[in-house]
């Protein structure tokens, strides 16, 4: 169990997964810092339609009610009495997001470093996201990850999106990996809950949500980004257990 500070204990690290087979990644907020762009897009769209009397939504409202959730769930939350209208609003928001994302999307710090670590070890990898297909494909392309991910699982193609475990279980199935030898990178409460429910340890990133909020979902531990020493301490321990140590800390 992670301590309240987010510090790692090697008793709850990733070493028990050895030999590691695979790593599953969320996209939004996990491989790229997209939450501020989503927040800006929702804020713009909801102001256009006069939601909340025209008063802009706050970042806290976005974190508590929208971040990491599937658009169907967001539509029901924002418009509980008019689901179809809610869907049209979320679709309009995605158009705004795709307009903004080209100039503003940046990888999370250290992403290339952890990518190299995964590739050097020949590990399987998949993206598992609640993002719409157009968004997912656009972000993966902008980040140069099209050849990195061996499968992309969309929440909209599952019977139940995150926070249910189905998307992550489909990810494991797609790349033929065992949950007992796989871990997850996630940044949202719903995503962490989904990974944990699928039976895997989840490394949580604090790119868009406060530590205390993420810890309620029970990640293995939290990191600021992929350069975080806590992550590399865990990967080094995992390498030792797997008998593949020696280059973990390299850039």
- Give the pair of three-digit tokens for residue 161: 């999106």
Name residues whose C-beta falls within 8 Å of residue 205's C-beta, 6 or more positions apart in sequence.
29, 30, 108, 185, 186, 187, 222, 223, 224, 225
Residue 101 belongs to what H/E stretch? helix 83-104
Give the C-alpha separation, 224 to 204, whole Å: 8
Residue 166 belongs to what H/E stretch? helix 166-175
Of 176, 120, 183, 190, give the one whose Cα is nearest residue 148.
120
Q: Which one from 11, 26, 33, 73 is the annotated catalytic residue?
A: 26
Q: Which one from 28, 33, 73, 187 is the annotated catalytic residue?
A: 28
Give the C-alpha separation, 22 to 128, whole Å: 13
Name residues whose C-beta falls within 8 Å of residue 99's C-beta, 6 or more positions apart in sequence.
none
- Answer for the pair 6, 203: CB distance below 8 angstroms, yes or no: no
11 among known catalytic residues: no
28 among known catalytic residues: yes
**Which residues form the catalytic set?**
26, 28
């Amino acid at each position: 169990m992670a301590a309240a500070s987010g510090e790692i204990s090697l008793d709850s690290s990733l070493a028990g997964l050895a030999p590691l087979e695979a790593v599953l990644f969320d996209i939004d907020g996990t491989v790229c810092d997209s939450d501020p762009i989503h927040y800006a897009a929702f804020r713009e769209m909801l102001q256009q339609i006069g939601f909340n009397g025209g008063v802009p939504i706050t970042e806290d409202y976005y974190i508590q009610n929208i971040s990491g959730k599937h658009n169907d769930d967001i539509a029901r939350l924002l418009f509980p009495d008019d689901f179809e209208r809610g869907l049209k609003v979320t679709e309009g928001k995605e158009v705004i997001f795709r307009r903004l994302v080209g100039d503003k999307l940046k990888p999370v710090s250290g992403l290339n470093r952890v990518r190299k670590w995964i590739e050097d070890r020949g590990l399987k990898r998949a993206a598992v996201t609640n993002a719409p297909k157009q968004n997912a494909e656009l972000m993966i392309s902008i980040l140069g990850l099209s050849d990195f991910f061996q499968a992309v699982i969309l929440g909209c193609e599952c019977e139940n999106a995150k926070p249910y475990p189905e998307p992550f279980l489909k990810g494991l199935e797609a790349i033929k990996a065992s949950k007992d030898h796989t871990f997850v990178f996630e940044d949202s409460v719903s995503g962490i809950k989904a990974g944990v429910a699928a039976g895997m340890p989840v490394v949580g990133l604090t790119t868009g949500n406060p530590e205390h909020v993420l810890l309620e979902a029970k990640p293995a531990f939290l990191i600021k980004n992929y350069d975080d020493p806590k992550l590399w301490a865990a990967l080094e321990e995992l390498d030792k257990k797997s008998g593949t140590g020696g280059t973990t800390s390299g850039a």
